[in-house]
Chains A and B, each alone.
Chain A
Amino acid sequence: MISASGLTKVYGGKTAVDHADFTVRPGVVTGFLGPNGAGKSTAMRLILGLDRATSGSVTVNGRLYRDLPAPLREVGALLEAKAWHGGRSAYNHLRFLARTNGIPNRRVREVLDIVGLHDVAAKRARGYSLGMGQRLGIAAALLGDPAILMFDEPVNGLDPEGILWIRRLMQSLAAEGRTVFVSSHLMSEMALTAGHLIVIGRGRILADTPMADFIPASHVRVRSPDLAALGRAVAAENWRARTAEEALLVYGATPADVGDLAYRHGIRIHELSPVHPSLEEAFMRLTADSVEFHGGG
């Protein structure tokens, strides 16, 4: 379990993480979602104590990371940037890590098998492809067989097969009862893996919710030259509704329900369509005010 309270990080004058409170629980993949520059990587570095919080704190299993007796056995982390030395082989990289935390060498072989780096384990890491480097980072995270795993944008640089592999890996880790905290700026990616979502924008936590609750309800979009009358009729049925751009969005009813209602009231209809909002849209709406960098003009 990871718990942040009032977690804040200011770089110079720039607030990267702003009074963040969140808890990451075991048994489910928790997606950490936010646009570029939202503060995801910073929050993860703060969890590991690599950056020092300006105020507030974050604990892992109730302790500061630096106070864990054998950190690699409790937390495994894949960070954003490459975090190994190109002159050392994967095998030696993992061997030295294992040694620092009293992890037996046999485990090094095991994780090399798990991530599929066995054949190149003796080669210097400098020659690895982007995906192989990512796998080495994942091997390092799995090394201590930790109950908590953190992955910062793990699918970066992976091919479709690799992406599928890491999704399955994260889900099976969570199914084993582990805490899995994975960041992404892609809602679509989260939709496929995460069971819980923590949304961050401009350093602030915008949502902390089960995935199911994050998906907005389906509704009916209806346009009519007599929108006011339609609105009254809908309200009389006790359906929730709101207007949006010359249209009425009706919740809790099917297009057939709305069409029949209009017919009964003699209201003309110009458009009647079912809407199934995507997670992407929900995410965009939530973070619209907090996007750090807007593209184009």
Chain B
Amino acid sequence: MVLRKATFAGAVAGEWIKIWTVRSTLWTMFSTVVVTVGLSSLLALAYTLSYDRLGFRARLAFDPVAYGLAGLNFGVITLGVLGVLAVSTEFSSGLMRTSLSAVPRRSRLLAAKAVVLAVIALAVGLISSFAAFFASQAIFSMRRLGVGIGDPEVLRAVTGGGLYLTLIALISLGAGAIVRHTAGAITSVLGVLFVAPIFGVFLPEDWGRTVQKFLPPAAGSAILTTRETPVTLPPWQGFGVFAGYTALVLLVAFVLFRRRDV
């Protein structure tokens, strides 16, 4: 049955068509999975090969899950870009005016975008995370360093990889809606995610370390760890903090998107 009214479901369906009908989406998904798994595998291989030369402390700090998921940092970039593009290209192309004539309720349009993006990011995130986990553990197992998906905390961390990338995509969507220019939005997202921690490192000891834990990438990626570390918050706590940042950015995005001229 065809609905005769414009509904939220219709807006979501429209966004679903929209995101799949530009080539960059499929490319982003494909490269995210391939490069994430590739990087995780390379890192695992490097670690495994040099394991004999590592000191006691390094061996103790080794978290096979977190190391195995390190490649997800590439996914942070690609899904961040996907999230920004999902909204910024509409502004740059002028498509936003057409989209808003079809779905004039602004919150409905942005929410539909968020739903579609979240579904796609979650799927890609979970596929990347699980694939990176299994690939890296297979390599670690050569030296009996690997863990299984059934081991304590492991399933949480690997699933968390997918959730983390989903939040990355959403926070980037928010940034895209706020900044409205592709380059500006990507710069701000990557700046906060990759440059802020560098400054965090230079902050003096005590409170510097605390600040560092609360910086977006450290907080968000705490979910990937299965060992307690002094540099991250407990997994869910960190994830909660990052979810808070995401919610805040999205809130600002919704308010501005409702208010501004297009």
Question: Which residue numbers of A lie inside 8 Å of B, CB to CB?
Answer: 45, 48-52, 65-66, 68-73, 75, 77, 79, 81-89, 92-93, 95-97, 99-104, 140
What are 16 of the A-B contact pairs (CB < 8 Å)?
Answer: A48-B100, A48-B104, A51-B262, A71-B103, A79-B94, A81-B97, A83-B93, A84-B93, A87-B24, A88-B18, A93-B98, A96-B17, A97-B14, A100-B13, A101-B5, A104-B2
Contact A48 B101 (CB under 8 A): yes
Answer yes or no: B195 CB below 8 A from chain A CBs.
Answer: no
Contact B23 A95 (CB under 8 A): no
Contact B261 A51 (CB under 8 A): yes
Q: How far does the alpha carbon of A49 sit from the alpha carbon of B101 in the complex, in Å?
A: 8
**Chain A neighbourhood of B100, CB < 8 A:** 48-50
**Chain B neighbourhood of A88, CB < 8 A:** 18, 21-22
Question: Which residue numbers of B lie inside 8 Å of A, CB to CB?
Answer: 2-7, 10-11, 13-15, 17-18, 21-24, 89-90, 93-95, 97-98, 100-105, 259, 261-262
Q: How far does the alpha carbon of A51 sit from the alpha carbon of B260 in the complex, in Å?
A: 7
Contact A85 B90 (CB under 8 A): yes
Contact B17 A101 (CB under 8 A): no
Contact B21 A50 (CB under 8 A): no
- Overall SS of chain B's interface: helix
**Chain A neighbourhood of B261, CB < 8 A:** 45, 50-52
One of A51, A75, A85 near B95 (C-beta < 8 A): A85
Taking CB as reference atom, which chain B residue is nearest A98? B14
Contact A72 B17 (CB under 8 A): no
Given contacts A95-B17, A104-B2, contact A49 B104 (CB under 8 A): yes
Contact B14 A70 (CB under 8 A): no
Contact B11 A65 (CB under 8 A): no
Taking CB as reference atom, which chain A residue is nearest B106? A66
**Chain B neighbourhood of A140, CB < 8 A:** 98
Q: How far does the alpha carbon of A66 sit from the alpha carbon of B109 in the complex, in Å?
A: 12
Contacts beyond the supplied A88-B18, A89-B21: 19 A-B pairs with Cβ under 8 Å: A52-B259, A66-B105, A69-B6, A70-B5, A71-B101, A72-B6, A79-B97, A83-B94, A85-B90, A86-B93, A87-B23, A95-B21, A96-B15, A99-B13, A100-B14, A101-B10, A102-B2, A102-B6, A140-B98
